[in-house]
């Protein structure tokens, strides 16, 4: 997406503030909504996505539009923040947080990833040094086997991404951000992947995204694979 002339020289944050202050003339704020979902929409998660998701019913809790600038062009993707409630226990505390990340692809369609929250914690200088390491590698211990697995930066990049994020807590019936229910955020993130053995002599790409809130320094690590609808 090429920048329009009136946006030349403006930061992503300045552009986001203009959208928020414009307010959509009271009709809501338009945002990238490739699946045309609403806050509160149910999302079916097929069994093919793995047994961890089988006993949960998911709904959209909020929608987050990320905007990045790469070589003078804007690139957006959308996270549908999901709240999974156990269909077996019906326990309000038995909740599985997940994200459905939808990214435009070169074919003019989009790719979707199903991500789970792997870990989160307050700012730590030593962890920041890990993601800024010049090797571009990120190692985690596998929950099941206890083995250490290594991820590498997608497309062999080393720099982080800076993103201006539009957080939509409530939507209008036509799929815009409801006035007064949309807020800004600013994050820095690093992306990684690896080929993971999924059995039957097949592999699939597994992803990790390390996200740091630029204001609070709070880290979140999201981990997942391609989403099967």
pLDDT value for 87? 86
Per-residue pLDDT of the chain (229 residues), as tens digits, is: 444 545 567 899 899 988 888 755 677 899 999 999 999 999 999 988 988 898 899 999 999 999 998 888 899 999 999 999 998 876 777 899 999 999 999 888 999 999 999 999 999 999 999 999 999 999 998 777 788 999 999 989 899 999 999 999 999 999 999 988 999 999 999 999 999 877 778 888 999 999 999 999 999 999 999 998 8
CB atoms within 10 A of CB 19: 19
- Report pLDDT for 24: 57
> Residue 107 burial by CB count (10 A; 0-12/13-18/19+): exposed, middle or buried?
exposed
Q: Could you tell me if 207 and 224 are in contact, meaning their C-beta atoms sit under 8 angstroms apart?
A: yes
Q: 3-state DSSP call for residue 196?
A: strand
Q: Is 22 helix (H, G, I), strand (E, B) or coil?
A: helix
Phi, psi of 174 (to 5 degrees): -95, 10
Q: Residues with Cβ < 8 Å from 53, sequence gap 6 or more?
A: 45, 47, 84, 96, 98, 114
Give this prediction's pTM.
Answer: 0.90
Domain boundaries along the sequence of the chain: 5-226
Residue with tokens 């809130």: 213
**pLDDT tens-digit series, residues 65-81:** 999 988 888 999 999 99
> How far apart are the C-alpha atoms of 1 and 187, rounded to whole Å?
20
pLDDT of residue 30: 92
């Amino acid at each position: 997406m090429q920048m329009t002339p009136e946006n030349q020289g403006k930061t992503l944050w300045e552009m986001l503030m203009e959208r928020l202050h414009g307010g959509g003339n009271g009709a809501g704020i338009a945002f990238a909504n490739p699946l045309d979902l609403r806050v509160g929409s149910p999302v079916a998660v097929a069994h093919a996505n793995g047994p961890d998701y089988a006993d949960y019913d998911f709904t959209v809790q909020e929608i987050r539009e990320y905007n990045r600038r790469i070589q003078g062009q804007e690139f957006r993707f959308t996270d549908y923040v999901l709240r999974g409630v156990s269909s077996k226990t019906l326990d309000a505390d038995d909740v599985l947080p997940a994200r459905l990340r939808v990214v435009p692809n070169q074919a003019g369609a989009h790719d979707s990833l199903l991500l789970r929250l792997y870990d989160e914690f307050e700012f730590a200088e030593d962890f920041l040094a890990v993601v800024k390491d010049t090797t571009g590698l990120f190692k985690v211990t596998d929950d099941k086997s206890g083995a250490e697995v290594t991820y590498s930066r997608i497309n062999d990049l080393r720099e982080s991404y800076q993103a201006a994020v539009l957080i939509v807590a409530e939507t209008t019936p036509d799929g815009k951000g409801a006035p007064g229910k949309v807020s800004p955020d600013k994050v820095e993130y690093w992306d990684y992947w690896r080929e993971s053995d999924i059995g039957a002599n097949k592999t699939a790409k597994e992803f990790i995204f390390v996200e740091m809130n630029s204001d609070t320094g709070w880290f979140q690590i999201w981990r997942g694979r391609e989403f099967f609808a």
